[in-house]
Amino acid sequence: MYIFAATGHIIPASGPAQPKAIVEWIRFNGDGTLSSAGATRSLNGVIAQISSSDGAGASYTVADLVPTGEGSTGTLAFSARGPNFDLFHSAQGRGHLDDPDQSQ
């Protein structure tokens, strides 16, 4: 079980940017699928609880860096239409997510 935490902004077609944040508990099943034990999110200051999910439509990939032993990279997709993230996991056990599309 991993804790996924992210902050950023939603950029609507019109109007000002709106802050967003999420904390989610994610289980990576080892076969490219995942599930969520639930989450808490804030969209423009409105806080909501998100119930658990079987992860239908979500997937991830992992590949070793070259040279081996330096860590791994991968992708995380919550559905076919996003949001999608790039993953990095260091050999020291630290992870990082990057949102290549900040407008999601």
Does some domain include residue 23?
Answer: yes
In terms of phi and psi (left: phi > 0; alpha: psi -120 to 50; beta: otherwise), the region of 29 is alpha
Does some domain include residue 93?
Answer: yes
pTM over 0.85: no
What is the number of domains present in the chain? 1
Give the closest residue to 28 by CA, choosing from 91, 99, 69, 85. 85
Does some domain include residue 63?
Answer: yes
Residue 47, pLDDT > 90, answer yes
pLDDT digits (tens, 9 = 90+) for 65-95: 766 777 888 888 877 776 788 888 777 766 6
- Which residue segment(s) compose the domain that 59 sits in? 2-11+18-98
Does some domain include residue 104?
Answer: no
Does some domain include residue 103?
Answer: no
CA atoms of 73 and 82, how far apart (whole Å): 18
Does some domain include residue 88?
Answer: yes
Does some domain include residue 67?
Answer: yes
CA atoms of 29 and 2, how far apart (whole Å): 11
Does some domain include residue 25?
Answer: yes
